[in-house]
Structure formats: C-alpha cells, structure tokens
Structure 1
Amino acid sequence: MALRFYLGNHLFMNWMPYRIRHAYLRRFCNMRIGADTSIAMGCFVTGNFITIGSNTVINRGTYLDGRVPLYIGNNVNVSHGTLIQTLSHDPQNPDFVCIEKPVAIMDHAWIGARAILMPGVTIGEGAVVAAGAVVTKDVPPYTIYGGNPARFITDRSRNLRYKTRYFPFFDTDIQ
C-alpha cells in the first residue's frame, strides 16, 4: 500500500496531467473524485478514505489526510498550501496515542491559502476559512472564520450560485 502512495505523491502528483493523475488516484488510491474536479500538481495524498465531490478545486501544495474519512463536497475551493489532518496525537498521553477523527468540508466552502484543519472538524456549507487560519472546532454554515485558533469574523451571503472549475496548465495559475 505504501508504494502506491509513494508513486502517487512523487510521480503522478508532480508529473502527470489531470486525467492520468485522477485516474491513478481513483484506481490505486481508492479516491472518489467527482466530475469537473481538479486536484493540482504538488498535492500530497495519503489514506484510502477520501471523497471529493464535483466542481471542486484542490490547489497545489495541499495535504489531504485520508487515513480516517475525509469528505470534501461540491463546488469547494481548497486554496494552495492547505493542511487537512484526520490524525494527530494526544500530547498528554504518556504513550503518545493517535487521535483519529474524520473531517468534512461541505458544499460551497472556501478554504483560504495555508489554512490548517485539525481532526474532527466540519466546515459548514458556504463557510469560509481565512488564509492562515487554524481550525480546531466546527465552522458553522455561511460564516467566515479566521485566526489562530479560528474565530468568527462575520456571516457570508447565502446567495451562492457559482460552480468552481479550475484546470490551469502545468504548475501555474494561468488557464
């Protein structure tokens, strides 16, 4: 199993076009990827429990931890350098045991650049996580959270009609 992810992360995620990259992730890493979803070059994927909906963009440099279920909905934008963790350790435990909790990002959510989502959080429908935020607790639907730890900033409009579709050439921001 480790060889599949090694090849995926070091060959397919860095050198192959979208179609080949996505086919590899579906076939050999058991990812479920919806239509018109793009997973950019330079992402790091681990674990067999990742589901991504349609019209979702996972930008370069994102870490997707699917060792415990990771669900990402439709029309979600995960900006570059985001870290999504489903496992951590208990610092108070003398045996440094693992804490395993699923993560869910619901439809029309937007995760800002270099945000960190910790195990067990749910990002509600239409919610925004600001760039650099560290999310340790659930983010309610249609709210904007930011900071470390992430806190409520303001509400977000519920009138969202967009579909995210982003397939830039090579490893650039140019389409």
Structure 2
Amino acid sequence: MSGNYSYARRIWFDGVLYVCNHLIAHFPSHFLRKVFYRSVMQFEIGAGSFIFMGAKFDARRGFSLGSHSVINDRCRLDNRGGLEIGSNVSISSEVCILTADHDPRSSSFAGRNRAVRIDDRVFVGTRATILPGVTVGKGAFVAAGALVTKNVAPFAIVAGSPARVIGTRPTDLSYQIHYDRLFA
C-alpha cells in the first residue's frame, strides 16, 4: 500500500508543478496567478509584488517574495533549496536563479540544495544567472548577463562571467517599485 501512496503523492506533486509552470504561468491574469501561487504552491508573496507571465518554479513551497518586488517574464526560479527575495527587488526578464546542483566530486554525483537570498532593493539584469548558495546584498546591482558564483556585497555593482565588482550604488536608496497591470 505504501508504494501506491508514494506513487500517488508523486503524481499529485508533479501534476501541481506541471499546472503551475505550463498553465497558470501563462494565464493572463496576475490576480489569479497570485491566488494559485499563494494557496496551492504555498508561496509567500508580499503586498504590491508582481510575477509576470512565464515564470517557472521547481517545487511547491520554498519561495518567498517581499513587498513591492517584481519578477519579469520568463524567469527560471529554482526554489528546491529555498529562494528568498526581499522587498523592492526588480528581477528582469529571463533571469535564472538556481538553488540545486550536483557535486562534481561525488562518486554518486549526489544532488545538493543551497538556498539563495536576494536582499531588499536589488536589481538583477536580463539573463543574469545566480548560482546555488549565493546571497546578493541589500541594494546591489547585477548587470545583464552576469554569472553570479559568489556572494555580492551590499550596494555593489557586479558584471561579467564570473561576476566581478565594477562599482557601487548609493547607500541611501529609497525607491518603491510599483507595478499595477491587469494583464502581464
């Protein structure tokens, strides 16, 4: 009986993830997507935050988005190891954030999960990639196409592959992101 129960659970969880990524993610109503993400996927989504169409997730739970943050279209958000995004964060189109990989030194190629944290008022440019275990500090700016392999200091501007510090942002950031679109 337990084998059937495990198989049924897997069908349920894989089915929910399929519905999330292939149906709900493309539904042109942000309100309905947010209801699904909060209730079925059990994501924590703050007030005034917006997830555009086409976002792909890898697990139920393990995802937190602060208030007044935006995740633009077609982002890959691997939340298996835990993904926490702060408030007033802008994640540009086609960004890839990974929290799971395999240990290349393991004889069994063992999988490993490492949480990613993106602090408040961070900007992540189009097609940037953030690897497992990284923390992006408050107010940091990740340039388009950057490959972030290590922690980013607060207010640092990073670019390149691998990402390197190329400057700093002001420390008195006070903006509030506001997206209010019916269909996106």
Q: Which residue of structure 2 aligns with residue 85 of structure 1?
A: 98
Larger Rg belongs to: 2
Pairs aligned (count): 171
Q: Quick check: 2:30–2:183 contact (8 Å CA) kept in 1?
A: no
1:5-84 matched pairs, under 5 angstroms: 5-47=17-59, 48-84=61-97
1:164 alignment partner AA: I
Q: Which residue of structure 1 aligns with residue 129 of structure 2?
A: 116
1:95 alignment partner AA: S
2:177 alignment partner AA: T
Give runs of ≥4 in structure 1 deviating > 6 Å: none
Normalised TM-score (structure 2):
0.90
Provide the C-alpha distance between the structure 2 equivalents of 1:83 and 1:167, rounded to a whole number of angstroms: 24
Provide the C-alpha distance between the structure 2 equivalents of 1:49 and 1:120, rounded to a whole number of angstroms: 14
Provide the C-alpha distance between the structure 2 equivalents of 1:164 and 1:5, rounded to a whole number of angstroms: 29
SS in 1 for 2:40: helix
Residue 164 of structure 1 and its aligned partner are, at CA, apart by 0.9
Residue 94 of structure 1 and its aligned partner are, at CA, apart by 2.1
Normalised TM-score (structure 1):
0.94
Relative distance call for 1:5 and 1:167 in structure 2 (3 A) is farther
Q: Which residue of structure 2 aligns with residue 3 of structure 1?
A: 15
Structure 2 gaps, min length 5: 1-12
Structure 1 gaps, min length 5: none
Note the aligned Cα RMSD (angstroms). 1.1
1:107 alignment partner AA: D
Q: Which residue of structure 2 aligns with residue 106 of structure 1?
A: 119
Question: Does residue 161 of structure 1 match 2:174?
Answer: yes
Provide the C-alpha distance between the structure 2 equivalents of 1:67 and 1:92, rounded to a whole number of angstroms: 21
